[in-house]
Each structure stands twice: as C-alpha cells, then as structure tokens.
C-alpha cells in the first residue's frame, strides 16, 4: 500500500522555487543550493536490485522474487550542461570490468579490501554509495557531484505518481519469461510494476543487457515527457511529492537532497526533449575471464575516453561514427536524442 506524503510536504512548497533557501531547507531538509559548476553538473544515478518494501503480492505479480545482492544493476552518469540547456545520459553496463579503489571496508563483513578488479555493479554491494562513486570517478575521470539511488520500491512508487502512467511503444512483440514482460506491437501506458518489468527485461529482444539499457533510456525519455505534458514541473504539490518519492529518506555521501532535486527540476523545466541525449559507453567486447570478477565487458578505451573528455569539456557526446564498432553487435554506440525515443 502506498501512503500519501505528509501534509507538510504538500503545503510547504506552495511557492516552490520562489521560497527562500532557508524555507526550502526547513521543508525538505538537507542541502538546498545545488552546485552549478562551470563545467556542468554530474549526477550518478544507480538502480539497485533491493526488494525492500516490496509486498509478496507484488513480487508474484511482477516476477520480483529472489534475493537481491544490493548490486547497482543500473548505472547512469547524467551530465547537465553549465547553461542547463543540454543533458547527456551515459549508461555504464553492469558487467563492465572496473577496479574497485582501496583500501575500502566491505559493508556486510567489516573486512578491509585493497583495490581489486570486479564487475562495476559489485561496488555498491561491497562498499555502498561511497565506493560506487569512487569507482565511477576512477573509471571515467568524471567528478561526481551528487548521487541518487533508486530501488524497486522507489521506482514503482515514483512511476505511479505520474498520472495516467508512462507510455511504452514497440514495433515488435516483447516477451520475457524472466520478468513476465508481455507487450504486443503498439503503445500502451504502464504503472510502476509493469514499468519495472520493462526496464529489467534483457531476454525479450536478444540484446541482453545492452537492449535493457536502451529500454531504460526510452522509458526515462517517455517518463520525462509525461511529467512535462502533465505539467508536474509547474505544479508545486505534485512536484514536491514526486521528488520526495524518488529521493526517499536514505542518506548517502554526496546524496542529492529532495530540495536539490527541486532545484534541478527548476533548472531543466524549459529544456526541450531534443536537448537530451542518451548513450551507452563505447564497448570493445568481452574480456578474458578475470579472477574474482568472472566474465566482464571491456570498454573501448579510445571511444570511452572521447565520451568522457566531451563531458568534462561540457560538450555534446561524440557521434556514432566517431567511435570504432564494437565486437558485440548489440553493444553499438549510438547516441539517441530524447525526442527520438518518445512514443508517437
């Protein structure tokens, strides 16, 4: 059962971004003045497989059973340009080979580990938000200014706050026995549970994790379009509830606060979908098996370096033809504009 937000959460931001920073801090807690670095703002968004708060009925209906490893199976580096007129979203495949910086403390055991190779999604399970941020910064050379974690419960509740649901469109049937996804050709709107089935699916189209990432990009583009169409960005009550649900109450080092999310929404409310771009980091192919890490994905060093250099320089992503083709056909680097991903 989803409970409504506290009454103070609905009333406090009546004037929203016209409020003084002190009033916002009182209403939402945490930092208020979101930084605006000269080279742009970087937010690391991770989606974990935590089932905390998910009911038994939801697990059965949406095929969410099993135990999560608290791994960050979704990892997106979001760069907002200094002028707030462009947003670049670069996904990092969960099986990417990375070096976990050391020494760090393993949260579940208290053991101290030196740096070691691992799949990039193991960073969160091993060392939480702090190690995840440090790992991504080391791998990309990008400074992460804020961190946002979204688990299954938070994802479903956030999508359910979008009136009428989020459109999903497909030109071919999509059926995944693992997640229960079963979509016919065409467009339909979904709520949080079905949306989660869609963004988790990697067996519906034969494109594995790379296809799943592209589904996530399409879902985000359509969710943002619905938020814009429903005028949520201009409705203080709805926006406050949406950001509070997305952010949750968990604290983390460099975690973005609800008030900062409101500030970010204000900066981007006039940014056209065509000014959003989505891509997966360039991938070379699969690595030889690495002890302790298993089968991993290797980035294309030159292509990835160019992508991250562009972000550091606050420039658009390089075009597809500027990056060498991947040995994995479905792992193609092909930046997509936000407008091209929106369902007709």
The pLDDT score that the predictor gives to residue 275 is: 96
DSSP helix/strand/coil, 152: helix
The pLDDT score that the predictor gives to residue 38 is: 86
Mean of all residue pLDDT scores within the chain: 88
How many CA atoms lie less than 13 Å away from 218 in the CB half-sphere? Answer: 22
Would you say residue 123 has pLDDT above 70?
A: yes
Band (31; pLDDT cuts 50, 70, 90):
low
Omega before 113 cis (within 30°)?
Answer: no
State the average pLDDT over residues 196-202: 95
Would you say residue 167 has pLDDT above 50?
A: yes
The pLDDT score that the predictor gives to residue 278 is: 98
Place of tokens 């597809």: 320
Would you say residue 83 has pLDDT above 90?
A: yes
Of how many residues is the chain composed?
344
CA–CA separation, 218 vs 222, rounded Å?
A: 6
What Å distances lie between residue 19 and 1, 10, 32, 240, CA to CA? 32, 14, 11, 13
The pLDDT score that the predictor gives to residue 32 is: 54
> Range with the lowest mean pLDDT among 28-42, 86-100, 278-292?
28-42
Structure tokens at 204: 């519906």
State the average pLDDT over residues 100-120: 92
The pLDDT score that the predictor gives to residue 16 is: 38
pLDDT tens track for 249-294: 777 778 998 889 988 988 898 899 999 999 999 999 999 998 888 8
State the average pLDDT over residues 121-142: 95
What Å distances lie between residue 289 and 69, 97, 296, 299, CA to CA? 21, 10, 7, 15
Q: In three state form, how does the secondary structure of 214-280 look?
A: HHHHHHHHHHHHHHHHCCHHHCHHHHHHHHHHHHCCCCCCCECCHHHHHHHHHHHCCCCHHHEEEEE
The pLDDT score that the predictor gives to residue 67 is: 73
pLDDT above 70 coverage of the chain, percent: 90
Q: H helices within 281-320, ranges in order? A: 301-312
Would you say residue 14 has pLDDT above 50?
A: no
State the average pLDDT over residues 32-38: 74
CA–CA separation, 208 vs 73, rounded Å?
A: 13
Q: Which helix (H) or strand (E) holds 44?
A: strand 41-48
The pLDDT score that the predictor gives to residue 270 is: 87
Cα 68 to chain centroid distance, Å, stands at: 18
Which of 25-29, 62-66, 301-305 tops mean pLDDT? 301-305
Band (145; pLDDT cuts 50, 70, 90):
very high
pTM of the model: 0.90
What Å distances lie between residue 305 and 1, 40, 103, 142, 288, CA to CA? 45, 18, 26, 11, 21
């Amino acid at each position: 059962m989803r409970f409504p937000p506290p009454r103070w959460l609905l009333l406090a931001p009546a004037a929203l971004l016209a409020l003084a920073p002190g009033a916002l801090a009182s209403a939402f807690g945490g930092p208020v003045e979101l930084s605006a670095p000269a080279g742009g703002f970087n937010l690391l968004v991770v989606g974990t497989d935590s089932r905390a708060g998910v009911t038994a009925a939801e697990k059965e209906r949406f095929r969410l059973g099993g135990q999560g490893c608290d791994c960050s199976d979704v990892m997106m580096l979001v760069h907002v340009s200094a002028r707030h007129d462009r947003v670049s979203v670069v996904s990092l495949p969960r099986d990417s080979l990375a070096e976990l910086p050391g020494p760090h403390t393993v949260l579940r055991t208290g053991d101290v580990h030196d740096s070691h190779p691992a799949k990039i999604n193991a960073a969160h399970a091993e060392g939480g938000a702090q190690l995840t941020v440090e790992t991504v910064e080391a791998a990309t050379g990008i400074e992460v200014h804020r961190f946002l974690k979204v688990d299954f419960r938070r994802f479903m509740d956030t999508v359910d706050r979008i009136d009428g649901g989020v459109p999903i469109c497909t030109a071919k049937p999509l059926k995944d026995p693992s997640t229960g996804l079963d979509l016919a050709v065409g467009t339909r709107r979904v709520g949080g549970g079905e949306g989660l089935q869609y963004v988790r699916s990697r067996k519906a189209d034969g494109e594995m994790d790379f296809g799943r990432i592209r589904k996530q990009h399409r879902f985000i583009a359509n969710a943002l379009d619905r938020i814009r169409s429903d005028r949520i960005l201009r409705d203080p009550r709805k926006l406050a509830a949406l950001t509070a649900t997305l952010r949750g109450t968990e604290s983390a080092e460099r975690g973005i606060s609800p008030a900062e999310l409101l500030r970010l929404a204000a900066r981007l409310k006039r940014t056209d979908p065509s000014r959003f771009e989505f891509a997966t980091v360039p991938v070379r192919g699969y690595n030889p098996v690495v002890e302790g890490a298993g089968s991993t994905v290797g980035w294309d060093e030159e292509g990835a370096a160019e992508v991250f250099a562009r972000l550091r320089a606050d420039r658009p992503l390089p075009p597809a033809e500027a990056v060498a083709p991947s040995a994995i056909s479905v792992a193609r680097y092909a930046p997509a504009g936000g407008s091209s991903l929106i369902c007709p």
